[in-house]
Structure 1
Amino acid sequence: MIGSLVTAVLGWSLVALVIAATAARGAIAYAHRRGMLDQPGQRRSHALPTPRGGGIGIVLACTVVLPGVLWGLPGRWPASVIASLVLALLLVAAIGWWDDHRPLRQWPRLGVQLMATALFSLALLVDAGITWQWLPLLVLAGGWSINLHNFMDGIDALLAQQGVFVSAGIGCLAASVDQPALAGAGIAVAAACAGFWLYNRPPARIFMGDVGSGSVGLLLFALAAMVWRLEPALLWPALILGSGFVTDASLTLLNRFLRGRRWYAPHREHLYQWLVRSGRTHARAVAWYLGWNLLVAAPAAFMARQHPAMALPACAAVYTVAGATWIVTKRRCMRRALKKDRHVAP
């Protein structure tokens, strides 16, 4: 039984990886034909014009694979939840694909994103018989996840790496409560992100684009919400897994609010961007986040899963350490960048 489950998950994951990689490769040629190239500049961290939109491969892979995994493996999810997840994914991907071709104002994008998360969240709550009072919180959480992952998609391989780590981690959490369908879905999303990573690793041949970054944000939110629906205590280790990204995006946004700047305007004030501005390569900056994930987030999430009574304190402790690390590291990077280039604004 276990052997057949493993074979099925690996088979679906291989399909997801191949679809994502093939579509990303095709998106390179498409982007060149359509002139969808991100140009280097003050707000960009790369040195050469680079195609965008490769995240469409992740969307296609998950649209094909997730229904099969969530419906076909033991622990089958209701058709209404699966259908709402796919519809939400397509809505977020469609508005992102449009924005990649012809930039949109922030409010239409946000409206579609919130509508997508509301559709999925409502289906999840109705199926579980959970009170609708959770709906506003889930919608806000989903909208924030979509946008924070968009904000964090600024250097080669960073978001693809995070997608692999968090979705695989949530898959392991689902497996720990004997939920093969959701475990397989997490592994499949990780495989799709890995397929895109093959073309996005430094030096990147293509960027994810809004079609991919927003979709990855939605998928990670959906996986976390589904594991919360299985067992509420699993929310804390799931949040720990995403602590590196959530801390960087949240503290950067808060800092911009306090300084009276537009939160949605492009900028280079995230920690990962300061790591690059201070002279580190994209690969070294990405390795910094990988180190956090493997040395801090993964062990803490494991501990929180093994000791549910300590899950909330462990989550709070991880985010406290992450915040302190963000402040100290950013200050050091800013000082280093200012020494490197006296024209860099603090």
Structure 2
Amino acid sequence: MTALPAWMLLHLVLAATGTWLARRYALKKQLLDQPGERRSHVVATPRGGGIAIVVSVLLGIVWLALKDPSDALLLGCFATGLILVAGIGWVDDHRPIPAWPRLLVHAVAAFLLAWGVHSSSPGLLAPVVAFVLALVLVNIWNFMDGIDGLAASQAAIVALAMVLLLDGVWAWIAAGLVAALAGFLPFNFPKARIFLGDVGSGALGFLLAGLLVAAFRSDRVSWPLLLLPISAFLVDAGFTLGMRILRREPWWMPHVQHTYQKWAGRNVSHVGVTLAYAGFSLVAAMLVLIGIGWTDYGSASICLVWFLGAGFLWARMRRDISNE
């Protein structure tokens, strides 16, 4: 563990330097997110800063795979899937791509992660969980990346919980991700000078899926608890998506109907909304760590109560915002 601080410092420096370079590149190439009715920001802002996080963590994964060949196949599948997700996002940041080709690439990346998990452990449950988590979280993190600091801070909280929960190479990957996000966040919060872009938001979802699958396979906590750190995004994205589908709206198109967006648009600063979501997720992450050793029944009960409370809170906030 003595090398862990140096490992994290290296990721932080790489990500911070890479984000600075990505911002210069975006300004030169005019890769700017313009304000509009489907955006929550009011100033044209460079995008694509998430490439720095991807490169930093990817280099760490490659180094870990070379250091321990016993994990090389799984880490290779994980790294390849990450490249696919980040790559299609990078292209989309330069030239918009239709939703379905992007989803197909995401599905291939999710399959690669599932294949790697299947090749390294018996049974079909873990690969199925890997595929579903990867496909869902890649798109949720993309949907929820709409105000300053939100997607990156939520990812940092989940990754930090995984640092404390996991061991071996996956703890190192989680620690590297936390540090890389710490290098990126000063450019994105409290006032964004660059956005993650699709290259970053989708990649964060894929990275978190890999970490959560590693925690699922470790059996250190009952699996329902692993849903808690991502519950803020699951509830907001899930209910909002459901509402748009019921209204027969094009749910895959950009919009400002998520609760966090409506809250930020109600003369509440992006900082306040991001910190409120962070507080919610920090409590959820602490519950996961406290829940080590809980029975499946107890964990499922806590998870049910938590999600019912989160759903009630989401509905209450939607009502209050609509009434103003």
Is 1:45 the equivalent of 2:37?
Answer: no
Q: Secondary structure, in 3 states, of the residue corresponding to 1:155? A: coil
Is 1:285 the equivalent of 2:273?
Answer: yes
Sequence identity of aligned pairs in percent? 35
Instruction: Map 1:1-346 onto structure 2 (within 5 A).
Output: 5=1, 7-69=2-64, 72=67, 78-131=71-124, 135-174=127-166, 179-231=167-219, 233-294=221-282, 296-309=283-296, 310-336=298-324
Deviates more, 1:25-34 or 1:299-308: 299-308
Deviations 1:127-147 (A, max 9, x none): 10223x654553232111100
Give distance in 1, aligned partners of 2:58 and 2:18: 13
Deviates more, 1:44-53 or 1:232-241: 232-241
Tell me how many residue pairs correspond in the alignment.
Answer: 323
Give distance in 2, aligned partners of 1:146 and 1:225: 14
Q: Secondary structure, in 3 states, of the residue corresponding to 1:228? A: helix
Give distance in 2, aligned partners of 1:149 and 1:80: 26
Look up the equivalent residue of 1:149 and give its one-letter code: W
Q: Taking structure 1 as the reference length, what is the TM-score of the superposition?
A: 0.89
Give distance in 2, aligned partners of 1:43 and 1:187: 34
Residues 325 and 77 (structure 1), Cα distance of their counterparts in 2 relative to 1, 3 Å cut: farther
Look up the equivalent residue of 2:269 and give its one-letter code: T
**Mapped contact 1:114–1:140 kept (Cα < 8 A):** no
Look up the equivalent residue of 2:47 and give its one-letter code: R
Deviations 1:220-268 (A, max 9, x none): 0010011111217443232111111111111111111111111101110
Give distance in 1, aligned partners of 2:146 and 2:222: 30
**Mapped contact 2:221–2:294 kept (Cα < 8 A):** no
Unmatched runs of 5 consecutive residues or more in structure 1 = 337-346
Deviation at 1:125, TM superposition (A): 1.4
Q: Taking structure 2 as the reference length, what is the TM-score of the superposition?
A: 0.95
- Give the CA RMSD over aligned residues: 1.7
Residues 138 and 180 (structure 1), Cα distance of their counterparts in 2 relative to 1, 3 Å cut: closer
Give distance in 1, aligned partners of 2:91 and 2:265: 30
